[in-house]
Amino acid sequence: MARSRPGILLALAFAMAAVAALAPAPVAATKYNITKILAPYKEYSKFNEMLSKTRLAYDINRRQTITVLAVDNSAMSALDHYSLQTIRHILSLHVLVDYYGDKKLKKLAHGSTASSSMFQATGSASGMSGYVNITRKDGKVSFMTEDADDTAKPSRYVKSVKEYPYDIAVLQVSSIISSAEAEAPVPPPAPVDLVELLSKRYCKSFASLLSANAEVFRAVNETKDNGLTLFCPVDSAVAAFAATYKNLTAKAKTAILLFHGVPDYFSLQLLKSNNGMVTTLATASEKKMDYSYDVKNKGETVTLQTRVVTSSVTATVGDMEPLAVYAVDKFLQPKELFKVVEAPAPAPEPSSKKKKAGHGGGDDDSSDDSTADAEKGDAAPALLARWVVTAAATAVAAYASMG
């Protein structure tokens, strides 16, 4: 029996949706580093420094669509009397979670709009106080918070510093954007006794090593309130490394203990979703040496790879931003103090095909052929999907015009 026209249209619509679902996902947008973008511009050095100290730089780098409203060094002096946490709140108003390049600002619909800031998006603001009003009047663009009082003056748009369209725009504004709520005093974080915390959960032996070294103990405690991730070897790992540790020089003992601290806060979720190299407290103390390692994740497993040893995160000892402490199953050994363990070279795969007559080369050629086939394999479904969607759309249009 012949199918009705509505039935045919419905079937084609389902076919189009199915093919679209099978099409490869678009490639993720390129990541940009705000501190590197601002580094060449010395007039924003204080603003850039505070983005790092408040850890806003890390939050900015995690987003794909963002606008940073930078102020020059002279304007930053308005923040001198605030605490670091309050400065974080204020500068969060200078980070808009949408893209506003120069062209977009100069073509604002109706001459004004409102944008959510990082202060609003992170839940630090109450009500609408984290929104920033953007107004274009008489050819000039200005920024002012939603809850600004009558005495507040708008911050004027000065110029575009750097733009990567629809990913990140860095603009200069004339002054700090004012907000009564963002400027409100923030109570300091509750004091944390690191030795007590480590001793209660998994890391009593490592706690003893930290407290016995005055330089390390001071460095860790001075850092923990501004952002610190500490990886503590469990007691069995310290016991296994005890003989080696005992034979180290005093300077090497200090360096290896500092090697376990990263001067930034990383929640477990951040560790599980980001791969990359981290610098340590030892990096800062030893200017001429690297003392960094790679953080890798696979599924739910997070590993720290120093090129001497690979250690896995086994438990969360404590997570109270800006401090996070994680137990690891091996004592971290830096390449600066120990011999690097070279990864074994992968064994060559036996060729499953005989060399073709008149075809130069051996296994390398078959490998190249496989690579070429793989690249074609990635492209073919997308091309096929586009062709089928186009054909289906044409058919739907044709049927719709019938009758």
CATH of the domain at 278: 2.30.180.10
Domain-embedded: residue 393: no
Q: Write out pLDDT tens, residues 122-132.
A: 777 777 888 99
Same-domain pairing of 146 and 203: no
Same-domain pairing of 41 and 168: yes
Same-domain pairing of 316 and 212: yes
Per-residue model confidence (pLDDT) at position 16: 39
- The four Cα atoms 160, 163, 169, 173 give a dihedral, to 10 degrees, of -10
Boundaries of domain holding 123: 34-173
**Residue 351 — very low, low, confident or very high, per pLDDT cuts 50/70/90?**
low
Same-domain pairing of 219 and 117: no
- Looking at 106-193, list the stretches that DSSP marks H as alpha helix, in order from N- to C-terminal side: 118-121, 180-183
Round to whole Å and give the CA distance between 99 and 157.
Answer: 15
How many CB atoms sit inside 10 A of residue 316's CB?
14
Round to whole Å and give the CA distance between 157 and 143.
Answer: 7
Q: Contact, 261 vs 280, CB < 8 A? A: yes
Distances (CA, A) of 325 to 115, 148, 197, 282, 318: 36, 39, 9, 17, 5
Last residue of a domain, one of 313, 328, 343: 328
In this model, does residue 5 exceed pLDDT 70? no
Domain-embedded: residue 379: no
**Residue 11 — very low, low, confident or very high, per pLDDT cuts 50/70/90?**
very low
Per-residue model confidence (pLDDT) at position 6: 45
One-letter identity of residue 195? V
Per-residue model confidence (pLDDT) at position 231: 98
Structural domain total, the chain:
2
Domain-embedded: residue 105: yes
Domain-embedded: residue 26: no
Per-residue model confidence (pLDDT) at position 12: 38
Phi, psi of 162 (to 5 degrees): -160, 135
Token pair in block for residue 261: 């601290």
Per-residue model confidence (pLDDT) at position 179: 85
Please state whether the predicted TM-score (pTM) of the whole model is above 0.75. Answer: no
Mean pLDDT of the chain: 80
Q: What percent of the chain has pLDDT over 70?
A: 77
Domain-embedded: residue 56: yes
Q: Contact, 99 vs 167, CB < 8 A? A: yes
Comparing 210-214, 222-226, 330-334, 358-362, the range with the smallest average pLDDT is 358-362
Could you write out the DSSP letters of every residue in 323-369?
EEEEEESS----TTTS---PPPPPPPPPP-SPPPTT---SHHHHHHH
Q: Write out pLDDT tens, residues 185-225.
A: 887 777 889 999 999 889 999 999 999 999 999 999 999 98
Same-domain pairing of 247 and 152: no
